[in-house]
Amino acid sequence: MQRIAFKMKLKEDQKQAYKDRHDKIWPELKKLLKDNGVSEYSIFLDEETNTLFGYQKVQGSGSSQNLSNVDIVRKWWDYMADIMEVNLDNSPVSIPLEEVFYME
C-alpha cells in the first residue's frame, strides 16, 4: 500500500461549488478509482491560500493521477475546470508532495 499526497489550487470563492460537486461524485468515477486501487481518498482545503491537499491510499503503483487516458476522468476535469487552476487539457494543476514523516 502506498500513500500519495499532492496539492491543487481552488479558485477564489469556489469552496461550496467544489464541495457540492464532490458530494455528488459520479458513481462511475468512484468505481474507476476503486477498481484502480484507490482505497482511500481525502481532499482538504486551506482556506487561507485556497490550496487543496489531496491524500490517497493506493494498492499497486498507480494513483488517480495516472488515469488521464480514461474518458470519464477527462469529463470530470472539464466539469471542474471553471473552479480550479487547470492545465491546457483541463487536468488540475497537481503538484506531488514528498512524504517527510509517517507514524503508524
- Give yes or no: 2 in active site: no
Q: Give backbone dihedrals phi and psi of 31, rounded to 5 degrees, phi first.
A: -60, -45
| Catalytic residue of the set 2, 3, 19, 22 | 22
Half-sphere exposure in the Cβ direction for 10 (13 Å, CA): 20
Calpha distance 3→53 (Å, rounded): 13
Calpha distance 40→57 (Å, rounded): 5
Instruction: Provide the strand spans (E) within 13-93.
Output: 38-46, 51-58
Which sequence positions are flagged as catalytic?
22
